[in-house]
């Protein structure tokens, strides 16, 4: 092994895996691992190709299909120092690109060169999520917490645990909870709109921070009677009620607890919004059949395509929603239509909207073709970091 490879254990990968890295991606799948002898789960490793050529330093998972997540194409001698620097860099990046909010994503995993770590800020609270064996290891986890604590001085840091991810990574079960401080609830403000945040027990809240810039954009064009479909805790609806000229705003979601928080958020902002608990597909069908009309409709469903095999079904679901919404919009109306499935490409989603418009004989003009907020950066060589589509279209005839 080359001398640059330091003292880390080595993982050897196939030619296909090496090609992927040379093309700039940062993942190597398990099927491309040739040998990982004696490598402990979650360790930092050197990566080499079949012939032993050094390709860089990575974090290794013994369980995930993504076996290797690259840290650098060089040797890394001081991992803690590198992690600290990268957290600092992630914070500085937000200082450059984040405006008008005290809630944003501080660290976005691969896109901040910290694979397996997500950190969100809600005013004075931080919430972190750990997604891999390597980030879960006690020394690294402690280092992350202490760095975030000293750099951002939050009132508290909590950890949000996704039990499914821990299972996939073969990590011992762990409960969500506070890791620093005592405070679990706060109020954050984005674009001048206020929201309740509760980190833990009871009615847990949190926002879709990736939509933050789209909320403000939607409010620029929204008018008249507005319907926010899949409204969750009211992200779009509250922005429309507060920042646009809408005469009436209605939010629809199937989750009663989400609507309860939405209503508290409306009160917090002194706004009147109508909340309807319903299955969005049923409600849109009934309303469209009944000839209801709106001037603004927002569609922001959950990810229908969780993997490639569910793509066709997902596309049908997206089409049905868009068809019904387009039918109900008055001429001059605005449709804000979003898709957060990575497996549906921007071109595919545009096509769903185009075909829906053709089927209902409406003319569409693209007012804005948008994506995720800038605190969810897209790493140019990692397509998986680009997932959110948000089209704002003007509907006529
Ligand atoms: N627009 C929201 C985020 C939506 S997340 C925001 O900006 O904050 C997706 C939401 O869809 C969740 O709140 C979930 O409860 C809701 N949902 C999922 N399936 C649904 C269905 N069939 N009908 C109505 N709501 C649904």
Catalytic residue among 231, 246, 340, 390: 340
Q: Give me ligand 1 centre to Cα 204, in Å.
A: 15
Whole-number average pLDDT of the chain: 96
Q: Give me ligand 1 centre to Cα 127, in Å.
A: 22
Ligand 1, residues at Cβ distance < 6 Å: 208, 211, 230-233, 235-236, 253-255, 258, 279-281, 300-302
Atom of ligand 1 nearest to the CA of 338: 1
User: Best substitution site from 254, 261, 299, 313 to test ligand 1's pocket, by max atoms within 8 Å of Cβ?
Assistant: 254
Q: For 221-240, what is the mean pLDDT? A: 98
Q: Give me ligand 1 centre to Cα 389, in Å.
A: 16
Catalytic site includes residue 390? no
Q: For 332-357, what is the mean pLDDT? A: 97
pLDDT of amino acid 308: 83
- pLDDT band at 205, cuts 50/70/90? confident
- CA separation for the pair 68, 29 (Å, rounded): 7
Q: For 202-223, what is the mean pLDDT? A: 91
For ligand 1, atom 3, the nearest C-alpha belongs to: 232
Atom of ligand 1 nearest to the CA of 298: 1
Distances (CA, A) of 382 to 38, 64, 69, 391: 29, 18, 12, 22
Q: What percent of the chain has pLDDT over 90?
A: 95
Q: For 128-151, what is the mean pLDDT? A: 97
DSSP character at residue 176: -
Q: Give me ligand 1 centre to Cα 306, in Å.
A: 15
Helix (H) or strand (E) holding 130: strand 125-130
pLDDT of amino acid 117: 98
Q: What percent of the chain has pLDDT over 70?
A: 97
Atom of ligand 1 nearest to the CA of 280: 23
- CA separation for the pair 206, 200 (Å, rounded): 10
Best CA proximity match to 348, nearest among 318, 384, 320, 380: 318
Structure tokens at 63: 């369980």
For ligand 1, atom 20, the nearest C-alpha belongs to: 254
Q: Give me ligand 1 centre to Cα 300, in Å.
A: 7
Q: For 100-119, what is the mean pLDDT? A: 98
Lowest-confidence range among 188-202, 216-230, 317-331? 188-202
CB 149 within 8 A of CB 87: no
User: Best substitution site from 227, 259, 260, 302 to test ligand 1's pocket, by max atoms within 8 Å of Cβ?
Assistant: 302
């Amino acid at each position: 092994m080359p001398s640059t490879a330091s003292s880390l254990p080595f993982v050897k990968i196939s030619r296909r895996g090496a090609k992927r890295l040379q093309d700039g991606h940062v993942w190597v799948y398990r099927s491309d691992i040739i040998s990982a002898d004696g490598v402990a789960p979650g360790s930092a490793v050197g990566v080499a190709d079949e012939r032993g050529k050094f390709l860089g330093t990575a974090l290794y998972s013994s369980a995930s299909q993504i076996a290797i997540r690259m840290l650098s194409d060089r040797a890394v001698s001081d991992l803690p120092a590198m992690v600290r620097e990268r957290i600092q860099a992630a914070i500085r990046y937000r200082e450059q690109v984040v405006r008008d909010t005290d809630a944003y994503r501080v660290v976005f995993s691969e896109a901040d060169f910290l694979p397996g770590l997500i950190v969100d800020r809600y005013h004075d609270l931080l919430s972190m999520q750990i997604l891999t064996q390597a980030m879960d290891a006690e020394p690294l986890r402690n280092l992350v917490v202490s760095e975030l604590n000293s750099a951002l001085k939050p009132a508290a840091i909590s950890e949000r645990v996704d039990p499914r991810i821990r299972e996939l990574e073969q990590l011992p079960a762990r409960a969500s909870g506070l890791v620093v401080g005592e405070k679990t609830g706060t109020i954050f403000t984005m674009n001048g709109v206020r929201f309740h945040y509760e980190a833990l027990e009871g009615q847990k809240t949190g926002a879709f921070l990736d939509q933050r810039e789209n909320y403000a954009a939607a409010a620029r064009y929204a008018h008249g009677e507005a319907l926010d479909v899949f409204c969750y805790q009211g992200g779009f609806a509250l922005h429309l009620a507060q920042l646009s000229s809408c005469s009436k705003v209605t939010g629809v979601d199937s989750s009663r607890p989400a609507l309860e928080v939405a209503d508290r958020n409306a009160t917090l902002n002194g706004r009147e919004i109508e909340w309807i608990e319903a299955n969005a597909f049923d409600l849109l069908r009934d309303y469209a059949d009944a000839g209801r009309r709106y001037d603004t409709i927002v569609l922001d469903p959950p990810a229908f395509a969780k993997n490639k095999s569910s793509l066709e079904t997902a596309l049908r679901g997206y089409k049905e929603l868009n068809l019904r919404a387009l039918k109900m919009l008055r001429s001059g109306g605005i449709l804000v239509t979003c898709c957060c499935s990575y497996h549906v490409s921007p071109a595919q989603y545009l096509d769903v909207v185009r075909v829906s418009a053709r089927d209902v004989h409406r003319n569409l003009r693209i007012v804005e073709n948008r994506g995720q907020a800038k605190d969810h950066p897209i790493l140019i060589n990692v397509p998986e970091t680009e997932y959110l589509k948000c089209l704002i279209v003007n509907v006529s005839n």
